[in-house]
């Protein structure tokens, strides 16, 4: 049985041009789009060149939603890809996966500047949270959907590549018929100032692999790929011939350093090997590598070492190039843009060049494609590498769509975490909650909803951390690390093969504001290099991975106040797909002056939605493969029976919920409200006792992870036999059923 995944549509927006053909023509020609930034003033910046996308304007049909540049570029690229593949959301279950990092930061910077001048202006404050990372997925859902599922994830510069991996897992699990996956990121002052503070930007357009390379160039842009199973695509009406096959992938974390890659590239080498093995091929069939190739001295040296290690003698044959000398580094969009380019290289048998490479670094033993692209007789398979802050790395393999069948069957033995494992839904083997209730294991959470805690209780993360090793961790990373450490200890789980997925509604809003305020006050040279990496939404995940030595898949999800549920749902998918033996999954929401301020201003006129003060909160579960739990004799707190997620009202989705199987069934909620009541009445769970977490812990966008820990604790202590956790946010929801 061979379930091949085809790329049937591609959409691209890059500094070289809007649209696949506009970008491709100039890409092959070796044109460079990196020039002085016009989008904002670069006065005082160490380097002020970047790749900019011109003519970004919001779709006229969508005046109601706030459109960031990131969302607009994403819409253009996704629209192009969906048209190319003739995707009709009414004819199939279509899923959308969006990778990103800065989201609407460029637009938020205007708000921050106004807030800097007038800190308590309510009108301005209201706009502070109008571009959460989820906004792009929501905008696309509104204009190109409705999609059956929407997921937003972030792993810094590998976000776009990880979106493609998640899409692949949805297709293979049969959750959707077609997946639209990619990434988008707009240029902004924050990232320019931050990368400049790190000394990571070349004052001249970047020169990947060149002896004189001095850093990267930032870029911006978006790409989306339409992916579908080959057997379905063959019979789908209107489906075009495939562009390429998404043949293999591997993702993992270096657990090394928040900004620097591990010099020997050990993890990257093993990911390349695993991705090639998953594709059922050998390095002999790799005919091209689209490198991450940022142009920083460290990245290019590490990547060359990793490629040499993974490809062995083939390194002397396989051409390697980086597109960043032409389009710059589009951060959260880069992984998707370069995946799209790689799939086109495979389809068109034209290698794209490394522009700016005049004097190849003799220390990097690579076969280059300098200056201009070139036609080659064949490209059987190609690699696309994407590496993110915190060492969250992803490797994709694209193969010619007409490659001979039998590849996967003849593959050599797959690594332990292989997709060959028969379906057995994951189990929960540990859990913890950290907040005003103290640090509790899942079992100790069993009666949490009935308890009350003083909302001004100090949450002392430092008591649980080694001061020296935790010195770079900000508040969110500290909370996440403490709760992850406790959950892993609760499961007696080894860090080996363990991944991390944490959800966050808005990311590090306060940190970003403080970072920008320093720049407004003192200029870009006052940008703190140590603070900058803590501003990416995936920063807590990176810190958890580094502190605890977790080298499995690592990224963040964002789903507003259902971010905890989305992280756990994501972890269940990854474990079920064999991408990790276990994952620490949860949510972290530190106390945030801005979120507090904005939401109280927004709810001031709606006393019925009056909320308690938001306190520090983190919750985590250990989601583990059932086989692994069995093999190591782990104590199982609860089994996962069903995960349902939806967009819209959720009535249809909740109708899919199976009924409770016995008498001792309970419903555990983040927060109780009329919407939940109405929905529950539509399900067989309507008459079950229900408990909510807000009375004990106050309002928090991370309560979903707590609700799941409570439910697991109640089942483990035999207070209940099964439980439904129902979580909501605006226009979306998750229902997770767990049982003994």
Partner 1 sequence: MRTRSSLGSWYAFEPDPGRSRGVLNGLSLPMKNAQLRAELKRLIVTELNLKGRHPDTIGDDAPLFGAGLGLDSLDALQLAMVIEEKLGVRVPEGDEARAIFQSVRAIADHIEKVRGE
3-state secondary structure of 359: coil
Among positions 472-491, residues that touch partner 1 (CB under 8 A) are 472
Which token pair is 322? 């980086």
Residue whose entry in the numeric block shows the structure tokens 């053909």: 21
Nearer to partner 1, 307 or 477 (CB): 477
Nearer to partner 1, 469 or 718 (CB): 469
Number of residues binding to partner 1, judged by CB under 8 A? 21
- Considering the candidates 131, 139, 188, 329, report the single residue annotated as catalytic: 329
For residue 331, the minimal CB distance to partner 1 (Å) is: 19
Distance from C-alpha of 427 to C-alpha of 621, rounded to nearest angstrom: 10
Residue 292 is among the residues annotated as catalytic for this protein: yes
Applying CB under 8 A, among 57, 471, 607, 659 the residue interacting with partner 1 is: 471
Considering the rule CB under 8 A, would residue 530 count as an interface residue with partner 1? yes
Distance from CA of residue 656 to its chain's centroid?
27
Q: Give me the helices (H) in 525-635, please.
A: 539-548, 563-576, 593-603, 626-631
Distance from C-alpha of 345 to C-alpha of 288, rounded to nearest angstrom: 8
Residue 492 is among the residues annotated as catalytic for this protein: no
Applying CB under 8 A, among 197, 479, 668, 707 the residue interacting with partner 1 is: 197
Applying CB under 8 A, among 258, 344, 352, 383 the residue interacting with partner 1 is: 258
Taking CB under 8 A as the binding criterion, the range among 177-185, 382-390, 527-535, 664-672 that sits at the site for partner 1 is 527-535
Distance from C-alpha of 324 to C-alpha of 588, rounded to nearest angstrom: 33
Nearer to partner 1, 22 or 526 (CB): 526
Taking CB under 8 A as the binding criterion, the range among 371-379, 407-415, 467-475, 670-678 that sits at the site for partner 1 is 467-475
For residue 525, the minimal CB distance to partner 1 (Å) is: 5
Neighbours of 86 (CB within 10 A): 15
200 contacts 218 by C-beta, under 8 angstroms: no
Query: What's the number of CA atoms in the CB half-sphere (13 Å) around residue 33?
Result: 29
**Phi and psi (nearest 5°) for 384?**
-130, 120
Taking CB under 8 A as the binding criterion, the range among 73-81, 258-266, 275-283, 666-674 that sits at the site for partner 1 is 258-266
Cβ-Cβ contacts under 8 Å for 437 (sequence gap 6 or more): 448, 451, 453, 696, 697
Residue 131 is among the residues annotated as catalytic for this protein: no
For residue 199, the minimal CB distance to partner 1 (Å) is: 6
For residue 207, the minimal CB distance to partner 1 (Å) is: 16
Considering the rule CB under 8 A, would residue 464 count as an interface residue with partner 1? no
Residue 32-71 contact track with partner 1, rule CB under 8 A, x = bound: ------------x---------------------------
**DSSP of 615-674, one letter per residue?**
--EEEEEEEE-HHHHHHTTPPPSEEEEEEEEEESS-HHHHHTSPPPSSS-EEEEESS--H
Considering the rule CB under 8 A, would residue 528 count as an interface residue with partner 1? yes
Residue whose entry in the numeric block shows the structure tokens 């202006």: 121
Nearer to partner 1, 184 or 299 (CB): 299
Considering the rule CB under 8 A, would residue 198 count as an interface residue with partner 1? yes
Distance from CA of residue 641 to its chain's centroid?
25
Taking CB under 8 A as the binding criterion, the range among 52-60, 94-102, 328-336, 517-525 that sits at the site for partner 1 is 517-525
Applying CB under 8 A, among 454, 467, 663, 674 the residue interacting with partner 1 is: 467
Residue whose entry in the numeric block shows the structure tokens 């009709």: 88
3-state secondary structure of 165: helix
Considering the rule CB under 8 A, would residue 679 count as an interface residue with partner 1? no
Applying CB under 8 A, among 29, 93, 257, 611 the residue interacting with partner 1 is: 257
**DSSP of 632-647, one letter per residue?**
TTPPPSEEEEEEEEEE
For residue 44, the minimal CB distance to partner 1 (Å) is: 8
Distance from C-alpha of 502 to C-alpha of 493, rounded to nearest angstrom: 18
Nearer to partner 1, 226 or 255 (CB): 255
Distance from C-alpha of 641 to C-alpha of 411, rounded to nearest angstrom: 32
For residue 189, the minimal CB distance to partner 1 (Å) is: 17
Considering the rule CB under 8 A, would residue 527 count as an interface residue with partner 1? yes
Considering the rule CB under 8 A, would residue 446 count as an interface residue with partner 1? no
Applying CB under 8 A, among 86, 260, 494, 642 the residue interacting with partner 1 is: 260
- Whole-angstrom CA distances from 303 to 195, 214, 287, 310, 322 are 19, 16, 17, 10, 11
For residue 481, the minimal CB distance to partner 1 (Å) is: 15
Considering the rule CB under 8 A, would residue 526 count as an interface residue with partner 1? yes
Residues annotated catalytic, as ranges:
157, 292, 329
Residues near partner 1 (CB under 8 A) are 44, 197-199, 257-260, 462, 467-468, 471-472, 522-523, 525-530
């Amino acid at each position: 049985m061979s379930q091949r995944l085809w790329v049937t549509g591609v959409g691209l927006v890059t500094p070289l041009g809007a649209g696949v053909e506009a970008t491709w023509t100039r890409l092959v020609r070796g044109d460079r789009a990196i020039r002085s930034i016009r989008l904002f003033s670069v006065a005082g910046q160490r380097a002020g060149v970047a790749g900019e996308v011109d003519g970004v304007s919001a779709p006229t049909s969508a005046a109601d939603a706030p459109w960031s540049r990131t969302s607009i570029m994403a819409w253009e690229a996704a629209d192009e890809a969906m048209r190319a593949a003739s995707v009709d959301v009414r004819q199939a279950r279509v899923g959308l996966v969006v990778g990103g990092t800065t989201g609407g930061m460029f637009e938020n910077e205007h708000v921050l500047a106004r807030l800097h001048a007038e800190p308590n202006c309510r009108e301005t404050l209201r706009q502070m949270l109008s571009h959460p990372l989820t906004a792009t997925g929501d905008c696309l859902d509104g204009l190109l959907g409705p999609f059956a599922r929407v997921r937003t994830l972030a792993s810094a510069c590998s976000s776009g590549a990880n979106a493609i991996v998640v899409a692949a897992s949805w297709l293979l699990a049969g959750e959707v018929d077609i997946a639209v996956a990619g990434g988008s990121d707009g240029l902004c002052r924050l990232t320019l100032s931050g990368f400049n503070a790190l000394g990571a930007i070349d004052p001249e357009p970047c020169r990947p692999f060149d002896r004189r390379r001095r850093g990267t160039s930032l870029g911006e842009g978006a790409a989306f790929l339409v992916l579908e199973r080959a057997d379905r695509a063959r019979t789908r009406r209107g489906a075009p011939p495939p562009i390429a096959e998404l043949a293999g992938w591997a993702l993992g974390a270096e657990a090394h350093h928040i900004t620097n890659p591990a010099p020997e590239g050990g993890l990257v080498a093993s990911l390349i090997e695993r991705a090639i093995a998953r594709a059922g091929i050998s390095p002999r069939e790799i005919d091209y590598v689209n490198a991450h190739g940022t142009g920083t001295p460290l990245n290019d040296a590490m990547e060359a070492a990793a490629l040499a290690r993974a490809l062995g003698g083939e390194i002397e044959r396989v051409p390697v190039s980086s597109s960043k000398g032409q389009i710059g580094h589009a951060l959260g969009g880069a992984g998707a843009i370069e995946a799209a380019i790689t799939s086109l290289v495979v389809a068109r048998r034209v290698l794209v060049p490394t522009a700016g490479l005049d004097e190849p670094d003799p220390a990097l033993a690579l076969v280059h494609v300098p200056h201009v692209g070139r036609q080659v007789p064949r490209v059987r398979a190609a690699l696309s590498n994407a590496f993110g802050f915190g060492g969250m790395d992803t490797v994709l393999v694209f193969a010619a769509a007409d490659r001979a069948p039998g590849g996967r069957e003849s593959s050599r033995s797959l690594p332990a975490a292989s997709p060959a494992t028969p379906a057995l839904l994951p189990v929960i083997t540990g859990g913890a909650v950290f907040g005003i209730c103290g640090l509790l294991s899942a079992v100790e959470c069993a009666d949490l909803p009935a308890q009350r805690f003083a909302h001004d209780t100090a949450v002392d993360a430092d008591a649980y951390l080694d001061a020296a090793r935790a010195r770079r961790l900000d508040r969110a990373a500290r909370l996440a690390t403490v709760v992850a450490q406790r959950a892993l200890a609760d499961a007696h789980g080894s860090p080996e093969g363990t991944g991390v997925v944490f959800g966050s509604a808005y990311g590090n809003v306060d940190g970003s504001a403080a970072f920008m305020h320093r720049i407004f006050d003192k200029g870009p040279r006052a940008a703190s290099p140590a603070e900058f990496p803590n501003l990416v939404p995936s920063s807590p995940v990176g810190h958890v991975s580094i502190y605890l030595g977790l080298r499995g898949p690592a990224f963040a999800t964002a789903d507003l106040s259902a971010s905890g549920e989305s992280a756990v749902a994501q972890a269940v998918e990854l474990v079920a797909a064999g991408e990790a033996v276990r994952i620490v999954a949860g949510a972290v929401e530190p106390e945030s002056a801005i979120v507090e301020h904005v939401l109280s201003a927004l709810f001031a006129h709606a006393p019925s939605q009056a909320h308690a003060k938001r306190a520090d909160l983190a919750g985590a579960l250990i989601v583990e493969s059932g086989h692994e739990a069995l093999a190591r004799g782990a104590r199982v707190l609860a089994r996962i029976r069903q995960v349902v997620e939806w967009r819209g009202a959720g009535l249809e989705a909740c109708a899919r919920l199976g009924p409770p199987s016995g008498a001792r069934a309970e419903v555990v909620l983040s927060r109780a409200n009329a919407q939940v009541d109405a929905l529950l009445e539509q399900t067989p769970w309507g008459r079950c006792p229900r408990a909510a977490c807000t009375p004990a812990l106050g309002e928090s966008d991370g309560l979903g992870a707590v609700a799941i820990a409570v439910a697991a604790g109640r089942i483990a202590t035999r207070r209940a036999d099964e439980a439904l956790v129902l979580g909501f946010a605006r226009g979306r929801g998750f229902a997770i059923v767990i049982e003994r």
